[in-house]
Amino acid sequence: MDKTTQLSVALENVPGQLSRLCRVLSQAKVNIRGISVSDSADLSTVRLIASDPSAAKTALREAGLCFVSQEVLVVELQDRPGALEEVAARLGDAGLNVLYIYGTGDGPGGKARLVIRVDDVNRARQALR
């Protein structure tokens, strides 16, 4: 389990904005290691894990894109039924609120990799050790 920086970028909810964001990062030689997009009527929030958060922040600033950065946990677990329940139970038992999760898995028998935003990252790391 690692603590890392996530960038949340606000984009106008119109065609082409995700492409623009990806182009800005690509031109800065930043790889997107994880991504989640959620929308509302006017704006989309793109949450991403970048290979180089500092370079990503600079590129986003220079492109005039609005963003905030947060600390999140990246947790690797077995891709099997009940694995997430165990993580969620440990966080809940520690009194931590899970704000959101996104991720992917390899499939049965493989690994799942989750990005977890909680209200206290340091306490969450202790709870999951």
Can you read off the two tokens belonging to residue 17? 């904005």
Residues 17 and 65 in one domain: yes
Q: What is the pLDDT along the chain (129 residues), one digit of tens a residue?
A: 899 999 999 999 999 999 999 999 999 999 999 999 998 888 999 999 999 999 999 999 999 999 999 999 999 999 999 999 999 999 999 999 999 999 988 877 899 999 999 999 999 999 999
In terms of domains, do 52 and 22 share one?
A: yes
Q: Are residues 76 and 58 in the same domain?
A: no
Q: What is the domain extent for residue 53?
A: 2-69
Domain with residue 50: its CATH number is: 3.30.2130.10
Token code pair at residue 54: 């500092």
Rounded to whole angstroms, the Cα distance separating 54 from 95 reads 32
Domain with residue 104: its CATH number is 3.30.70.260
Same domain, 52 and 6: yes
Counting Cβ atoms within 10 Å, is residue 108 exposed (0-12), middle (13-18) or buried (19+)? exposed
Task: Kindly state whether residues 87 and 102 are assigned to the same domain.
Answer: yes
Measure the CA–CA gap between 47 and 69, rounded to whole angstroms: 9
Tokens at 18, concatenated = 């995700």
Tally of domains in the chain: 2
Using an 8 Å Cβ cutoff, are 34 and 25 in contact?
A: no
Distance in angstroms between the alpha carbons of the first and the last residue of the chain = 8
Q: State which H helix or E strand residue 120 sits in.
A: none
